[in-house]
């Protein structure tokens, strides 16, 4: 594969090549070879992806089943669903960015669908480029090759990074590569449906794609460039069902992290594409050698440029594989962030409830109140010591059981005293 990547089509046709090599490169070739060997290549990144994807999936499963907030949901979820949200949700305040919709609904709907669609569409684009290379296999003239890729290359961006139109004639290599980047950009933006602050499909071609964090957060937040602001719990979470969904995610595959990562690894383009293109190119080379035509050298340069564009387009598609895995990792981070926000929202509603409650009612309803008990529980749950998250949760559970036993003993003592009076 390395030979294929280093040799271009035109040079492989000519027996004599006028090579101009810088003397400094010759003198330092061992240093350059050592430096290049340390570079982290695209192929290195592709080899690391399965382990990275598996790590994301494992981390999600551990979090879903053993996270510290499960006990909190168990203690307060019934109260949330039976009146806490309806009565105090509009009065309780949290500080957060303005969301496009209920963040839990975005997690389980539009965000999942978005990732699925970009995986499918990038795979379709790869298939399109592969079909071009199959057709180019039998192109024996520059005219034939240009006719094959002309329609695909119509999307190239003939402007500089400042948006000014460039008048210079662009090589077919750049036309193909820029067209591929533009098509990928339109996929990421869903043809303008997905708005990402500061990015358009055209400027992505020249200045690069948005970072995965920017791309995914834009699915949730209306204006991510703005600071968070105070808003009511009901403005953020549209229904008490959202808290129920988060609490249930340890039992059901609601957020589908594992299937997302598997889809990227199995459905998107892999590095075998370069071997396929190498085969098509070698076949094209043999046909070109046997063809008789005028200006064969000039035509070979044009075909060479086209093959370079095909190769670079496929490498661009390969690099999106890692990009999408990183997007899934950001999606997972959003789950953690929204889960934390939900707990904060419940705490704020409980605080408002404390302000309105009738203390005489507590003993009849047999419900606990007061920030002292809740804060004590949170101190135990949030304390991550040497035993880690799991050990800390176990400590919190044991502490809660001890508190219940002490309260029961106190209650029994009070009853005995009453009977003695």
- Based on the domain organization, do 289 and 393 belong to the same domain? no
How, if at all, do strands 93-96 and 229-232 pair?
antiparallel
> What is the predicted pLDDT for the residue at 271?
63
- Based on the domain organization, do 133 and 190 belong to the same domain? yes
Six token digits for residue 352: 């408002």
* Residue range 387-419, pLDDT digits in tens: 332 233 334 334 444 555 555 555 555 555 555
- Rounded CA-CA distance 370/194 in Å is 44
Six token digits for residue 288: 């070109």
- Based on the domain organization, do 333 and 388 belong to the same domain? no
- Based on the domain organization, do 111 and 191 belong to the same domain? yes
- Based on the domain organization, do 110 and 192 belong to the same domain? yes
- Based on the domain organization, do 404 and 335 belong to the same domain? no
The answer to whether residue 117 sits within a structural domain is: yes
Low-confidence residues of the chain: pLDDT under 70: 1-40, 43, 159-169, 268-271, 361-421
Domain that holds residue 129: 46-66+95-227+260-342
DSSP letters spanning 390-418: HHHHHHHHHHHHHHHHHHHHHHHHHHHHH
- Based on the domain organization, do 375 and 313 belong to the same domain? no
b/e code 62-88 from CB counts within 10 Å (16+ = b): ebbeebbbbbbbeebbebbbeebbeeb
The answer to whether residue 288 sits within a structural domain is: yes
* Residue range 194-222, pLDDT digits in tens: 999 999 998 899 889 999 999 999 999 98
> What is the predicted pLDDT for the residue at 417?
52
- Based on the domain organization, do 118 and 189 belong to the same domain? yes
Q: Model-level pTM? A: 0.75
> What is the predicted pLDDT for the residue at 276?
80
The answer to whether residue 22 sits within a structural domain is: no
What is the number of domains present in the chain? 2
Going from the C-alpha of 347 to that of each of 37, 61, 147, the distances in angstroms are 54, 25, 65
* Nearest CA-CA partner of 190 in 214, 162, 215, 160: 215
- Based on the domain organization, do 337 and 221 belong to the same domain? yes
- Rounded CA-CA distance 417/326 in Å is 64
The answer to whether residue 61 sits within a structural domain is: yes
* Nearest CA-CA partner of 273 in 303, 304, 316: 316
Six token digits for residue 317: 């598609």
- Based on the domain organization, do 161 and 219 belong to the same domain? yes
The answer to whether residue 236 sits within a structural domain is: no
Residues 6+ apart with CB under 8 A from 383: 392, 395
- Based on the domain organization, do 123 and 58 belong to the same domain? yes
Six token digits for residue 27: 């003198």
Six token digits for residue 385: 């010591």
Residue 298's SS3 state is: helix
The answer to whether residue 84 sits within a structural domain is: no
- Based on the domain organization, do 116 and 186 belong to the same domain? yes
327, 342, 357: which is the final residue of a domain?
Answer: 342
The answer to whether residue 388 sits within a structural domain is: yes
> What is the predicted pLDDT for the residue at 6?
32
Six token digits for residue 196: 């990402």
> What's the distance, CA 92 to chain centroid?
32
Six token digits for residue 131: 């079909």
Any idea which residue has 């408002």 for tokens?
A: 352
The answer to whether residue 348 sits within a structural domain is: no
Residues 6+ apart with CB under 8 A from 332: 56, 59, 60, 257
* Nearest CA-CA partner of 126 in 331, 271, 21, 323: 271
- Rounded CA-CA distance 298/134 in Å is 22
* Residue range 95-117, pLDDT digits in tens: 999 999 999 999 999 999 999 99
Helix pair 371-382, 296-356: axis angle to 10 deg = 150
């Amino acid at each position: 594969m390395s030979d294929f990547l280093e040799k271009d089509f035109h040079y492989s046709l000519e027996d004599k090549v006028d090579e101009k090599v810088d003397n400094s490169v010759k003198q330092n070739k061992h240093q350059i070879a050592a430096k290049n060997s340390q570079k982290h290549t695209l192929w290195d990144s592709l080899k690391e992806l399965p382990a990275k994807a598996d790590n994301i999936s494992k981390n999600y499963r551990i979090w879903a089943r053993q996270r510290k907030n499960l006990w909190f949901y168990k203690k307060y979820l019934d109260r949330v669903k039976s009146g806490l949200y309806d009565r105090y949700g509009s009065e309780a305040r949290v500080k957060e960015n303005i969301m496009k919709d209920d963040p839990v609904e975005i997690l389980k709907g539009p965000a999942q669908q978005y990732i699925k669609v970009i995986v499918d569409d990038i795979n379709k684009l790869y298939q399109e480029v592969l079909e071009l290379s199959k057709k180019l296999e039998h192109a024996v003239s520059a005219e034939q090759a240009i006719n094959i890729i002309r329609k695909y290359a119509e999307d190239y961006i003939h402007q500089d990074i400042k948006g000014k139109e460039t008048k210079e004639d662009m090589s077919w290599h750049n036309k193909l590569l820029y067209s591929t980047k533009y098509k990928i950009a339109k996929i990421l933006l869903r043809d303008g449906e997905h708005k990402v602050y500061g990015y358009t499909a055209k400027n992505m071609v020249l200045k690069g794609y948005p970072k995965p964090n920017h791309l995914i957060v834009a699915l949730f937040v209306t204006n991510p460039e703005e600071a968070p602001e105070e808003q009511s719990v009901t403005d953020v979470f549209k229904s008490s069902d959202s808290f129920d969904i988060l609490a249930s995610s340890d039992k059901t595959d609601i957020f589908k992290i594992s299937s997302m990562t598997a889809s990227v690894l199995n459905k998107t383009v892999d590095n075998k594409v370069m071997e396929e293109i190498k085969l098509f190119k070698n076949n094209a080379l043999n046909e070109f050698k046997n063809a008789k035509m005028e200006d064969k050298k000039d035509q070979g340069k044009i075909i060479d440029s086209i093959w370079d564009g095909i190769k670079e387009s496929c490498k661009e598609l390969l690099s999106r594989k890692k990009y999408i895995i990183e997007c899934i990792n950001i999606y997972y981070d959003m789950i953690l962030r929204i889960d934390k926000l939900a707990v904060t929202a419940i705490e704020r509603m409980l605080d408002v409830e404390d302000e309105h409650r009738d203390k005489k009612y507590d003993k009849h309803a047999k419900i606990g109140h007061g920030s002292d008990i809740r804060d004590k529980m949170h101190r135990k749950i949030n304390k991550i010591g040497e035993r880690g998250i799991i050990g800390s949760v176990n400590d919190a559970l044991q502490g809660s059981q001890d508190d219940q036993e002490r309260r029961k003993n106190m209650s029994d003592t009070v009853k005995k005293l009453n009977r003695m009076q």
